[in-house]
């Protein structure tokens, strides 16, 4: 099954351990890790933010000049693990019988979505897609939202390392990419066209590789979308 195409109007990418999306795909790390600077958040809004939120803010902020001031985008945020480092801090607090109000406030999966809307004054709808297939599902929801509304949609996907405490996945770096999507009719001359298709397959797709591939403008599977089927992204 294929889905009507959308335009990719702009893309941004950040990895704590790679200089580019291509370097993720080539397994070529930076000489030294780099933390995001996330200038979109100022003053008190920066306090207590986790790496995953900082990553979202970094890539969303990089696309700010591409946004229309008269048609602010609907946003779809994606994250497999969410605020997992904040969860570790909260659990440590529980062991000591206290929870920080500031940490708790920023512990929800849609923390980045909320801080982004506050920082930009954007009252448009926003959602946050999560779970094991978050890269694929967030792409699907974002593309369907473009078709539902005929409006620009900001798709931001990010994840931070899962603390060892949880005995989960061991990816050691933070990674994020943002894509400004729009209807094909509204395409800028240099915009890429993205087509999603649901294709047979059950291969395990690494979320970071899928995200980096999309950010590099390359086609390939984004991840599982239903039993026995992958969501495939074709970029032209």
And the tokens for 11? 């893309």
Q: Which residues contact 140 (CB under 8 A, 6 or more apart)?
A: 3, 196, 225, 231
Q: Residue 201, interface with another protein (CB under 8 A)? A: no
Note whether 158 binds another protein by CB under 8 A: no
| CA pair distance 209, 213, nearest whole angstrom | 6
Give backbone dihedrals phi and psi of 46, rounded to 5 degrees, phi first.
Answer: -80, -20
Count of residues near another protein by CB under 8 A: 64
> Should residue 194 be labelled a site residue for another protein when binding is judged by CB under 8 A?
no
Burial of 218 (0-12, 13-18, 19+ CB in 10 A): middle
Q: Which is nearer to another protein, 114 or 217 (CB)?
A: 114
Q: Which is nearer to another protein, 134 or 212 (CB)?
A: 134
Rule CB under 8 A: choose which of 7, 15, 110, 209 binds another protein: 110
CB of residue 226 to another protein, shortest distance in Å: 5
Residue with smaller CB distance to another protein, 165 or 188: 165
Beta carbons of 166 and 84 less than 8 angstroms apart: yes
Site string for another protein, 49-88 (x = CB under 8 A): -------------------------------xxx----x-
Residue 5 near residue 197, CB atoms below 8 Å: no
Q: Which of 65, 70, 101, 236 binds another protein (CB under 8 A)?
A: 101
Burial of 6 (0-12, 13-18, 19+ CB in 10 A): buried
Alpha-carbon span 42 to 45, nearest angstrom: 6
Length of the chain counted residue by residue: 236
- Least distance between another protein and beta carbon 173 (Å): 18
**In the complex, minimum distance from the CB of residue 126 to another protein, in angstroms, rounded to a whole number:** 5
Among 111, 154, 174, 176, binds another protein (CB under 8 A): 111
| Site for another protein, rule CB under 8 A | 1, 3, 80-82, 87, 90-95, 97-101, 104-111, 113-115, 117-118, 120-134, 137, 140-141, 144-145, 147-148, 162, 165-169, 198, 224-228
């Amino acid at each position: 099954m294929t889905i009507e195409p959308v335009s990719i109007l702009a893309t941004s990418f950040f990895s704590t351990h790679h200089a580019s999306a291509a370097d993720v795909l080539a397994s070529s790390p930076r000489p030294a890790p780099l933390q995001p600077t996330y200038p979109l958040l100022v003053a008190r809004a920066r306090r207590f933010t986790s790496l995953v939120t900082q990553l979202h803010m970094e890539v969303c902020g990089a696309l700010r000049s591409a946004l229309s001031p008269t048609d602010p985008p609907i946003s779809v945020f994606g994250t497999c693990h969410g605020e997992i480092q904040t969860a570790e801090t909260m659990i440590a607090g529980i062991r000591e019988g206290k929870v920080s109000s500031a940490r708790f406030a920023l512990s929800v999966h849609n923390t980045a979505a909320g801080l982004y809307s506050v920082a930009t004054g954007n009252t448009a709808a926003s959602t946050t897609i999560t779970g094991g297939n978050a890269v694929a599902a967030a792409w699907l929801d974002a593309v369907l939202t473009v078709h539902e509304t005929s409006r620009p949609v900001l798709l931001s996907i990010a994840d931070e390392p899962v603390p060892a405490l949880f005995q989960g996945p061991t990816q050691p770096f933070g990674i994020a990419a943002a894509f400004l999507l729009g209807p094909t009719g509204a395409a800028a001359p240099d915009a890429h066209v993205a087509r999603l298709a649901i294709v047979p397959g059950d291969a395990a797709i690494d979320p970071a590789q899928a995200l980096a591939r999309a950010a590099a403008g390359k086609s390939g599977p984004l991840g599982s979308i239903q039993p026995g089927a992958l969501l495939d992204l074709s970029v032209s």
